Every structure is written in C-alpha cells, then in structure tokens.
Structure 1
Amino acid sequence: MSQLHANCVQIGAHALLLRGPSGSGKSSISLRLIDAGGCLISDDRTDLVARDGRLIATAPSTIAGLCEVRGIGIVRGLPIAAEGDVRVLIDLVADATQVERMPHCTAEEICGITVPRWTLCATDRALDAKIRVALAVATGEMRLEA
C-alpha cells in the first residue's frame, strides 16, 4: 500500500488523482468536479493499492467522507464513493507556463501500476473540461493524435 498527498474523485466508472502542494487547489477542483456529478473518494491524502491489475484508491479512515473547503471549514455530506479505479494522475501547477502546449504522454508507476500523468494549471478556466478529457484519453474513450 502507498499513500499520496492527493485528492481522489470518481467520475463515472473511473477515478482520478489530483496531486499538488497544500493550497494548490486540489479541494476546490474536487468540489467543481463533484458539483458536476462526481463523487469524492478522498481529500488531501489518498491510500492506494494494486488489486487485480488496477490501482484502487480509498480514503484513510481518519478522513473518510470529509473535505476541507477553504474559507468554510471541514464538511461532511458531499457525494462520496468508498473506492475508485484510478486511471489518471493530474499534477497541478500554479503557473500556466509550466504546462507544455503539446506534451508527450507521460506516466507514473504507483504500486506497480502504470498510470497516465498530465500536468495542468490549477487556475485554467477550462480545467474541469481538460480533466474530463484526460480521463477519457486514459480510459480509451478518446485518443490522442500522433
């Protein structure tokens, strides 16, 4: 088992990890994805384990069902999922110049499972849509042109 400093959100049948330092927008972005129909798996820290060739995410028991909403406090009652089949990792950066315009597909190995990884700017107005596209590419629902 491994633990990442990352949020995890379920969208449809698959989950994604949002990784970044404290204050990078992980919880705010998670809230927007949840507001659009997603479910929270974990806020701030995510436990990960390989199971049947898949990377499965859960919340540590001490924070399960909780989400820190900066400016409001720690809340309970958001739509949640007990676990998720992680298909993509999004690294959040604060500066749009850190995001390549046409990046090569990269991946990261977590618990022996290779997961596609993209770097996106946390303040990008199209971030929610880009995250959904990245998840669709990672699950084969969309494809990248060479």
Structure 2
Amino acid sequence: MKISTKGRYGLTIMIELAKKYGEGPVSLKSIAQGNNLSEHYLEQIVSPLRNARLVKSIRGAYGGYMLADEPTNITAGDVIRTLEGPISVVEFLDEEEPAKRELWLRVRDAVKEVLDSTTLEDLANHSEDHDHGYMFYI
C-alpha cells in the first residue's frame, strides 16, 4: 500500500488542526504556508474530510476549519481511509495461494493496527516534540 500525497497532506491538515484544537478555526492558507503546500490542493483534500464529518468549516472573515471531534477520538486510520479508501496491500487477494494470502492479510492487519491506534493527539504531540530541531554539542 502506498499512501499518496492526498493522504499525506490530509494527515498534515488534521495534525495542524489538532495542534490548534480549542483555539478556534484555522485557515487552509496558514496550514499551506506553514507546511509549504499548495492551498488550492488542500482545498480539494479538505472536502472529503468535511463530508466524512472529521472536520467542520466555519464561514466568515475569521473562518476556517476545526476538528469535528477531540484529537483523541480521531485516528490516522480514519483520515487515511477517508482519503485513500480501504486499507489493502494487495489487489485481488482472493486469487492468491493460501500461504501468500495469509501473509498479505497479516501485513494489512498490522498496517491497520498502527493507523487505528495512532490518534491525531499522538501525532500532534510527537510533531511538537520534534519542532525544536536538533541540538549539536562539540
């Protein structure tokens, strides 16, 4: 399974919203600028997230997007499935011989477990811990 830029940028949007959770709406422009991404592309990605009720939009001069639920209740799996579809590592799994089929099912289940056990809060906290860069001592 290869996650496309759609899934990766969608996760970026959601992590940024998780970092600002409780502070009001966040504009896609600020997310795009802060992550050096195309605002136009983010606008296309946020629509399925809104339709899946993972984010809500606020209109107006001070509008933007907010998480529809607490960051602890939204997983990376929720975001990836919304933007990429079902999690699968091999197409036409039924055509595989039993031993290989079992392997691909185990790989799929392991990927699902990681995505579904990682919340936006986990990702937001992890990225904040690493925003400070590296400290080198000589």
More helix by share: 2
Which protein, 1 or 2, shows the higher relative CO under an 8 Å CA cutoff with sep ≥ 6? 2
The structure with more strand, counted as a fraction of residues: 1
| Larger Rg computed on CA atoms | 2
